[in-house]
Amino acid sequence: MQHEKIPFNERGGRLRGYLDALSGRFPRFVFGGRIGDDVLPVFHFHDESATALEPKLRYLAENGYQAVTSDEIGDFVAGRLAPGPRRVGLCFDDAWSSLWTVAAPLLRRYGLRAIVYAIPGRIEDSAGCRPVENADDVRGAGVPGVSHRGAGAPGVSNAPPLVTWPELRALHASGIADVQCHTVSHSKIFCSTDVLGFVTPDYEATPLLNRPQLAAAPALRFVTPADLGAPLYTMRSRMSDGRRVTFAGGPHERCVEYVARSGGADFFNRPGWASELEPLTRDARPEVESEDAQRAAIEDELDRGRSLLNDGLRTTSVNHICLPWGVSGTQTVRALERVGYRTAFANRIRGVHAVRRGDHPYWLKRLPNKYIFHLPGRGRRLWR
């Protein structure tokens, strides 16, 4: 199998940003215009600090903006809702722990709400909720377990990086968070046989959600910094049209064991260390998944992701999805239809970075949250 190139539509970077700007993919309000009756601005957030987040929420509140739910976005796209010029969507992807400790209290303070795209396959359970600065800001009526330090609340040093199930339930019950799906596992998969590199001690800096999946759910497993020496191949999102490639013969295990026997992290101080690992990958037997297997895997990410969230939150309101990295493909669009999602956020070359009335419901688009200050209002900062 030849080296698979990543399609341009699945890439980011400055070149993509320049192309978007030059091709008119940004809505008019970004450049000082009005929002327009057929445009609903939607912004995405990830792991947020109070310093970065609070000024944006304050700007929205002081200028009379209100935040919509995912159902309202679906109704707007379908032409059943006219949200008005002061409505926006605030999407918090991945459900990082800062959603609970930072974002939720600030959202409550400024009278706003968030759409949260959670990853149920990565959420841990806990006996309680983490402490927050002001428990009243996230305590919904009758919501248990929200306190400055509840029994069983995980400590700061070993706390999970994402929200826990008790925290997600409390956010959902409080009304602050409209919880929706971000697929079961938010995974990248290997889709090539060409070794691009190996896991070295520097792999610790690789973002958690960018580490490739080794085994699908329920035995969900990813490459970790502890897998020193593991071979790395071209990766694409599980939701792309890329076919998964696995390797019989155990190149992963052989390389990891070899490094462990050869000094661990010190092995990478040797001159030419890569030449010792490369022969261990050459007799691997690649296996490319079939189209049926690919279709089943994608549908499982969509269907089980929704089911786990609805069951875990004791609700039926999870009917919308944001696809990881904005990547979708032919198989994913068909699976979205079969599973019955109402809307999906995904990126493609054509279209404007905002939700517009009449958009395809499975190709909705958003803007980075820095563009909140470009919205019409007092204190507008067009060139920040």
* CA nearest to 367, candidates 15, 25, 99: 25
pLDDT value at position 90? 98
Return the HEC string of 282-340: CCCEEEECCHHHHHHHHHHHHHHHHHHHHHHHCCCCCCEEECHHHCCCHHHHHHHHHHC
Q: Give Rg (Cα) of the chain.
A: 22
Residues 197 and 228 in one domain: yes
pLDDT at 144 over 50: no
Query: Is 362 strand, coil or helix?
Result: coil
pLDDT value at position 338? 97
Quick: pLDDT tens for 277-315: 999 999 888 999 999 999 999 999 999 999 999 999 999
* CA nearest to 212, candidates 224, 195, 200: 224
Residues 205 and 331 in one domain: no
pLDDT value at position 284? 85
Q: What is the mean pLDDT of residues 324-328?
A: 96
Residues 276 and 362 in one domain: no
CA distance 106 to 133: 10
Contacts of 4 (CB under 8 A, 6+ apart): 191, 192, 234, 236, 242
Look at residue 155 and tell me if it is in a domain.
yes
| Whole-Å CA distances, 362 to 257, 321, 325, 335, 345 | 44, 9, 14, 11, 6
CA distance 53 to 56: 6
Residues 35 and 123 in one domain: yes
Q: What is the mean pLDDT of residues 198-209?
A: 97
Give the length of the chain: 384
Residues 178 and 207 in one domain: no
Number of domains in the chain: 2
- For residue 136, the Cα-to-chain-centroid distance in whole angstroms is 28
Find the domain containing 208 and state its range.
Answer: 189-237+250-283
- Tell me how many degrees the CA angle 27-33-35 measures, rounded to the nearest 5: 60
Q: 240: which DSSP letter?
A: S
* CA nearest to 181, candidates 311, 89, 367: 311
Residues 43 and 170 in one domain: yes
Look at residue 205 and tell me if it is in a domain.
yes
**Phi, psi angle pair for 330, to nearest 5°:** -60, -45
Residues 71 and 90 in one domain: yes
Look at residue 159 and tell me if it is in a domain.
yes
Check: CB of residue 104 under 8 Å from CB of residue 178: no
pLDDT value at position 19? 66
Residues 221 and 315 in one domain: no
Check: CB of residue 240 under 8 Å from CB of residue 294: no
CA distance 283 to 195: 12
Q: What is the mean pLDDT of residues 21-32?
A: 81
pLDDT value at position 147? 41
Q: What is the mean pLDDT of residues 169-176?
A: 97
| Whole-Å CA distances, 375 to 37, 83, 175, 270, 280 | 14, 15, 25, 54, 55
Look at residue 383 and tell me if it is in a domain.
no
pLDDT value at position 350? 75
What's this model's pTM, rounded to 2 decimal places? 0.91
Look at residue 227 and tell me if it is in a domain.
yes
pLDDT value at position 152? 38
CA distance 256 to 231: 9
Look at residue 292 and tell me if it is in a domain.
no
Instruction: Grade residue 24 by pLDDT with cuts at 50, 70 and 90.
Output: low
Residues 38 and 155 in one domain: yes
* CA nearest to 85, candidates 379, 380, 375, 383: 375
Q: What is the mean pLDDT of residues 30-41?
A: 94
Instruction: Grade residue 20 by pLDDT with cuts at 50, 70 and 90.
Output: low
Look at residue 291 and tell me if it is in a domain.
no
Residues 20 and 106 in one domain: yes
pLDDT at 153 over 90: no
Look at residue 2 and tell me if it is in a domain.
no
Residues 210 and 108 in one domain: no
Higher-confidence residue of 24 and 64: namely 64
* CA nearest to 362, candidates 347, 384, 383: 347
Residues 358 and 227 in one domain: no
Which domain CATH number covers 328? 3.20.20.370
